[in-house]
Structure 1
Amino acid sequence: MRAAAYDSFADDNSRLQVRDVPDPKVGPGQVLIEVRAAGVNPVDWKVMTGGLDGMMDAVFPVIPGWDVAGVVRAVGPDTPEFGPGDEVMSYARKDVVGAGTFAQYVAVSADHVARRPASLDWHQAGGLPLAGMTAQRALDRLDVGPDDVLLVHAASGGVGSFAVQIGRDRGVRVIGTASEKNHDYLRELGAEPVSYGDGLVGRVKELAPEGVTALADFAGGQLDTTLAVLRPGGRHVSVADNTVDEHGGHWIWVRPSGAKLADLAAMADRGALKVEVAGTYPLDEVGAAFDASRGGHTRGKLVITP
């Protein structure tokens, strides 16, 4: 099969090539997915730099990508949940960095797979799993409900936009930071927008004079602001700053789960969750997709289309 892959870590795209690699083997409890779309996430190019080498082993050549939407083509032994022809999606992270989703095929544990919702096209479904489930886990960890005022850092980004929608679906009042060009977008999602940068604390306090009860940081570098706007007893989480554990917060890392992904699929099918796709790229342009992601100002999801 064809795949984007690299043989060693690098700080740029110089080692990334599209090549022929062996087809995946399909073990017990696994499904073989023909990839129709695979979302790009910052972790993909951060892994390529060796950024997770202290946490996860790498088996070269590494095929990047942890998101996938596609069609089941085969199942391994004792996998009654799915069959050939099923349209599915998955957050397909494995225990080691290796056989990812920027390829024609990927083998994934059936426990990590959910059926594609009818309301999402392939590109949207391919962009949902990692970012959507990260937002979902953040709000689960915060245990937010109708009595909460939630501040979302980087609310117009891939993860933040999902957090806004999940929060609103749970009856939460949501304030979201973003550049002014994305304020109308946040209003459409149901958030009250504020501009990030100098003076952010004051702008948040204008909207929530007593402070916010919960905060989700999807940007990093926001700890001082977080602590300044939280009410006493407020809860906070971050996906980007592992020092929050030292300040009463929680550093979170999303886990693959077909059941949790199915909950997001159900949200999409009842019109409570939208997926904005910012751009699509063929395998030959994975490097360009990484460059766009590195820019840090993409609204919505970037998607690879093998």
Structure 2
Amino acid sequence: MTDQHIADQHQPLVPNRTVWLDRFGDLDVIALSEQPVPQPVDDEVLVRVAAASVNPVDWKTAAGEYPPKGEDQLPFALGRDLSGRIDALGTRAHNMLSVGDRVMAFIDQDRGAQADYVVVKAVELVATPDGIDDATAAALPLAAMTAWQGLFDHGRLEAGQRVLIHGAAGGVGHLAVQFAIWKGATVFATAGEHDLDYVRSLGVERAIDYKNERFEDHATDLDLVYDTQGGETQARSFAMLKKGGTMVSTLDPDEDKGRALGIRTVPRWHAQPNAAQLGEVVDLVAAGTVNVAVDRTFPFDHVREAYAYTRDEHPRGKVVLSMTGE
């Protein structure tokens, strides 16, 4: 039986609404477009998406501020992580997968996750446990991999070390805090005044009001700074690191300053799909060791409002699109 034959058995009868970008600009370029339902071949899987998260990289991409996606690649679909159910399998998809299985994934930039149907490589999929709902599963992959890879792959964080995490109530930050505590590190964290109690509840050594306090007065002799802010925040953070410490930033770190101070800097990097690492995180969530904060869920046809909320309101945790309306 051919891949196409298998796919045809599950051919969806509804349109494939997709967040489709045909030009860069403000949020008015964000819209739903009906695109063909993709068909899985070889080791691919067709997922009927239940939920997809909205990440800062999405609105930055739409604005033309994300260098890996240029005008020469337009048009394309947006979104990097999703949850849903397997709808069809290619003939070489992993034999442990079945139609109807609940799954989540962080996918590469060649596809968009914010759609009713998305083709995913079997090796990108992670099973969604019964105790994790679709919104939580969709909120997890990209933010979790950004936090995990930043702390452990790039930052080399070990038990007993001292780490400062900026933006600790955000989508990446709240997970980074919990991963670092799970690892056995002493965690200092910055957040806005209205998020301090929440950050304290995660178990940090000190939650610091970034507007009304100087983090330099509380977080010293650090082994690692995890920076998602850049600018002045990053510049001030170098002095808090001990010689030989590490500055990990999702923005361009000042490598010259790092060298002058004896600080290791990690050049700008982007999180990569890694199902094995994501599976470790899912186990922590299923066990209750890590909690995923979903600030707000929007119906899929309110996608523009979801992008605006993510960009403008500094949500606590993640923002999610629901394709099912639930």
TM-score (norm 2): 0.86
Aligned to 1:183: 196
Deviations 1:212-231 (A, max 9, x none): 11110122222212211111
Stretch deviating more after TM superposition (269-278 or 161-170): 269-278
**AA aligned opposite 2:237:** T
In the aligned structure 1, how far is the partner of 2:177 from the partner of 2:137?
18
Q: Secondary structure at the match of 1:243?
A: coil
Alignment of 1:138-157 (within 5 A): 138-140=150-152, 141-157=154-170
How does 1:196-207 map onto structure 2 within 5 Å?
Answer: 196-197=210-211, 200-205=214-219
Cα shift readout 1:230-270 (whole Å, capped 9, x = no counterpart): 1111112001x223444331133111111111011011111
Distance 2:275 2:178 in 1: 20
Asked if 1:78 is matched to 2:92, the reply is yes
- SS of the residue 1:236 aligns to: strand
Please give the alpha-carbon distance, in whole angstroms, between the structure 2 residues aligned to 1:34 and 1:294: 27
Could you tell me which of 231, 235, 249 is aligned with 2:265?
Answer: 249
Structure 2 match to 1:113: 125
Matches within 5 A, 1:258-273: 258-273=275-290
Find the counterpart in structure 1 of residue 115 from structure 2: 103
What is the aligned partner in structure 2 of residue 133 from structure 1? Answer: 145
Report if aligned partners of 1:132, 1:162 keep a CA contact under 8 Å in 2. Answer: yes
Distance apart, 1:59 and its partner CA:
4.5
Code of the aligned partner of 1:136: W
The separation in 2 between residues aligned to 1:171 and 1:242, in whole angstroms, is 28
User: Which of 205, 212, 216 pairs up with 2:226?
Assistant: 216
Distance (Å, rounded) in 1 between the aligned partners of 2:287 and 2:203:
16
2:82 match: secondary structure: strand
2:37 is aligned with 1:23: yes
Distance (whole Å) between structure 2 residues aligned to residue 242 and residue 156 of structure 1: 21
Structure label with greater radius of gyration: 2
State the distance in 2 between where 1:259 and 1:57 align. 33
Report how many residues are paired: 298
Deviation, structure 1 residue 76: 1.3
Residue matched to 1:300: 317
| Counterpart contact for 1:65–1:101, Cα < 8 Å | yes
Tell me how far 1:53 sits from its aligned partner.
4.6
Match of 2:106 in 1: 91
2:253 aligns to what SS in structure 1? Answer: helix
Report SS of the residue matched to 1:25. coil
Gap change, CA 1:183 and 1:42, over 3 Å in 2: same
Report % sequence identity.
30
Structure 2 match to 1:287: 304
Correspondence for 1:167: 180
Secondary structure at the counterpart of residue 33 of structure 1:
strand
